Structure 1
Amino acid sequence: MKTVEQHVRDVLGLIAPPEPTEVDLLQAHGTVLAEAVVSPVSLPGFDNASMDGYAVHAADLSAATADDPVRLPVIADIAAGDGSPVAVPPGMCARIMTGAPVPTGADAVVPVEWTDGGTTTARFDRPVKGGNAVRCAGDDVREGAEVLRPGVRVGAGEMGVLASVGRRSVSVFPRPRVVVLSTGEELVEPGRPLGPGQIWESNSFMLAAAALDAGCEVHRHGFVGDDAATVLDTLEGLLMRADLLITSGGVSMGAYDVVKEVLTQQGTVDFTQVAMQPGKPQGFGTFGPDGTPILTLPGNPVSAFVSFQVFVQPVLRRLRGLDPRPLPTTRATLTSPVTSPPGRRSFLRGVLTEPAHGADVRPTVAPAVRQGSHQLSALADADALVVVPEDVTELRAGAAVEVMRLPEG
């Protein structure tokens, strides 16, 4: 059997680096930047008021008190977006709104709450420091500064930065197009009645959701039965939609393992066994005239889920233009004992509990009670995979283990 690390290297070897593309700003949401973004201007581009109030010379108010207030004539109203030149001589003030340019001569803004709110003259009953409530030009970003680096995922904050430096479009790595397909004559679409020996199909929904969580465009084809010709025709018909094909089921050693039967004949897909539990039967290769990568996962639901997290996640990261690193890990303390078959690395579902803030202890992880590869019910509660090495067959409660953190939805 192959090691987990070797199979990760093999599947990553299928993936060519993605080509960047220029997209409109909103289309960039959720994608990964393919360029460094440099600001063409300083931000703010001019000194402006951070509060509604009055633009003043701070020296004019140095002696102001509640008992002996200073009164200044109001010579102008300055609104946000007002580009007309305004100058405030000493001994005078201008009413100013948030975001409006600070007029020439003024060096501070007095919040309106500190005044009587006058429109012809304003009363000031306290001093103010120079620079108060003034956002200086360039105090956020200097012209020519790099504001976003390549490899950053474009979320809401990044979108705001892009717009604030005037970008209408940006170069990104497009979202990978992932097609998900399950196989099995026993499968029935959820919502339809079950016949004898049938089950509702869940793998394609689970894997499609996992690919969506990973930032991909996803087409869930659903499932097909165990007829080889139908499977082949279906896969060929899905190629135009796919940068990556993912199948589940039909890859073991049984008489009806149709995915293995069909793709073995193509000569471009290898089927192998990986020293892990769950998820031992795996397949990988290319399909179709353009060599579209295909990963064939086992049909047991938990096996398919674990295989996705261990093998597919790094592939999707590379397709998105990211470093294809595995899921993040941490060390945690087991709350109950676990067992594992010799010679295979186990990935057990578990619930991770972080220590109280400031506590100098490891997190704890509680393994799920039901760990069978068909037992999907415990998966919704799990936020981690407990990793038991190949040379370990049992671990007691209190033992330290490596834990893979599952992605948050």
Structure 2
Amino acid sequence: MHAPHAPAGHDADRPGLVPVADHLAHVLSRTGLVRELEVDVLDAPGRRLARDVSAAIAVPPWDNSAMDGYAVHHADVADASPEHPVTLRIVADLPAGSALDPALGPGEAARIMTGAPLPSASDAVVQLEHTDRTDPVAPLADTVTVLRAPTPGMHVRRAGEDRRPGDLLVPAGTLVTGPVLAALVSAGVTRVWLRERPRVTVISTGDELAAPGAPLRRGAIPDSNSLLLAQLVREAGGELQGVRRVRDDAAEVRARVLGATAQCGARPHVIVLTGGVSQGAFDPVKQAFAGSDRVRFVSVAMQPGKPQAFGRFGEPPDHGLGDPAGPERDGALVFGLPGNPVSAWVSFHVFVRPALLTMAGAPDHVVTPPRLRAVVETGWRTPGGRDQYLPARIRPAGPGDPGEAGGLLVSPAAALGSRSNLVASLALANGYAIVPTADQAARGGAPVAPGDVVDVVLTSLEPARA
């Protein structure tokens, strides 16, 4: 099981609060792998490899030139210098892609371009600049004079120097990006085993929710949560199966969940609900699963994101997850996240994203994002008694900034701090800061101050604006 990335500290005087690390560990213990698929390598980008991939051919496949120049016998030019130049007869012209393998006798050379296969009889390349023929597009001359001696094997790329057939090329769990695809194709790989994308349905709850762009009656708000979570699912490598909006009605919520898990065709591996998981009189998600022991509702020692629900429900996904005898056969994973958008954003990153990555076979260092250290640029208040996960602007320090040049600086994304309703300010967040309860206690409940050093996690590689 993947090691949890959240701090385990919690307030011992707050009974009933589940440590973040414990809740994450429970989630991952119930999370299995999605099935493997064998596909054409050209269909692999954006998904993760299910099995190690070895090179099918040598990379590069043949000895070739690393320079525009002349392929030579090293022995012919070993003593060449401006004072003692050596003149050779040119017998061939080898552009990149040439299939020629000309024979080179003593005193002979072949003009060769970068990437062209090296003649079998040659053992070095003299670059153009070390000859009297420096123009690569000039008509082929009869002779070339070498003005500087190469070393044996100079400017030669040896066959298989990057990978030999059978060498490990890419390990299982790797996301197929552009460079990975290039490596696979270059090594002669045509078919690969991948994990399918975890299929996810998003359901947002609330009588107050209006469709984006619809006129707002008094008390209504645009439904941003469903769009927020849908995009986070895509960014985590999930396949979005549907986005639903339901009223604060327990029967309707339950019907939507049962409908998603019982539908014909590809059923979801994961259902993410937002809203209705707290203690309110009209919290429909909690009411929808009342009496069920398959979805548990807990208070997690974090701010924001205290109310959480998690379990499995409904029919199992078709084609199954992992071991058919394991808990993954008990239906789709169900996450119930708080309805406040900042809470939903934090909860997704801390709990849902690790589960989706685990399903797809991501390695531990991806499931558990690295925590970096950053100097606080603008301070903020902490909640006390709960680990704080603050949406933040994280940027590199520059000249005149506090901290070391090249280090990281962190400020709250929202001017009003960590209030869980500040959805517009999420646009400025490229990560979050973590302030464990133990750190809060150590400072005696005082706010985080400029110059303090805290842990941060990047959720985007795009630097925050200053």
The two structures have a TM-score, normalised by structure 2, of 0.80
CA distance in 2, matches of 1:33, 1:40: 16
Q: Does 1:122 align with 2:182?
A: no
Contact 1:245-1:292 at 8 Å conserved across structures: yes
Q: What residue number does 2:309 align with?
A: 283
Unaligned runs of 5+ in 2: 1-16, 317-330
* Displacement after TM superposition at 1:248 (Å): 0.5
Given candidates 17, 25, 28, the residue that maps to 1:12 is: 28
* Displacement after TM superposition at 1:220 (Å): 4.2
CA distance in 1, matches of 2:363, 2:292: 31
CA distance in 2, matches of 1:20, 1:322: 13
Distance 1:263 1:407, change over 3 A: farther
Q: What residue number does 1:334 align with?
A: 376
Distance 1:74 1:340, change over 3 A: closer
Q: What residue number does 2:289 align with?
A: 263
* Displacement after TM superposition at 1:383 (Å): 2.6
Given candidates 119, 143, 156, the residue that maps to 1:103 is: 119
* Displacement after TM superposition at 1:346 (Å): 1.9
Q: What residue number does 1:77 align with?
A: 93
Q: What residue number does 1:376 align with?
A: 423
Given candidates 165, 169, 176, the residue that maps to 2:187 is: 165
Unaligned runs of 5+ in 1: none
Given candidates 230, 248, 271, the residue that maps to 2:274 is: 248
Q: Does 1:139 align with 2:161?
A: yes
* Displacement after TM superposition at 1:120 (Å): 4.8
Distance 1:104 1:372, change over 3 A: closer
Q: What residue number does 2:358 align with?
A: 318
Contact 2:84-2:147 at 8 Å conserved across structures: no
CA distance in 2, matches of 1:336, 1:112: 57
- Of the structure 1 ranges 350-359 and 261-270, higher mean CA displacement relative to structure 2 is found in 350-359
Q: Secondary structure at the match of 2:428?
A: coil
* Displacement after TM superposition at 1:345 (Å): 1.9
* Displacement after TM superposition at 1:10 (Å): 1.9
Contact 1:182-1:204 at 8 Å conserved across structures: yes
Q: Does 1:366 align with 2:411?
A: yes
CA distance in 1, matches of 2:117, 2:383: 71
CA distance in 2, matches of 1:310, 1:253: 22
CA distance in 1, matches of 2:105, 2:377: 73
Q: Percent identity?
A: 39
Q: Does 1:344 align with 2:386?
A: yes
Q: How many corresponding residue pairs?
A: 409
Q: What residue number does 2:65 align with?
A: 49
The two structures have a TM-score, normalised by structure 1, of 0.90
Q: Secondary structure at the match of 1:394?
A: coil
Distance 1:144 1:200, change over 3 A: same
Cα deviation per residue 1:232-270 (whole Å; 9 max; x = unaligned)?
332233234411111101111223211221122554211
Cα deviation per residue 1:21-40 (whole Å; 9 max; x = unaligned)?
21221222122222222224
Q: Does 1:390 align with 2:437?
A: yes
Contact 2:41-2:192 at 8 Å conserved across structures: yes
- The one-letter amino acid paired with 2:180 is E
- The one-letter amino acid paired with 2:230 is A
Give 1:224-235 correspondences, 5 Å limit. Answer: 224-235=246-257
Q: What residue number does 2:321 align with?
A: none
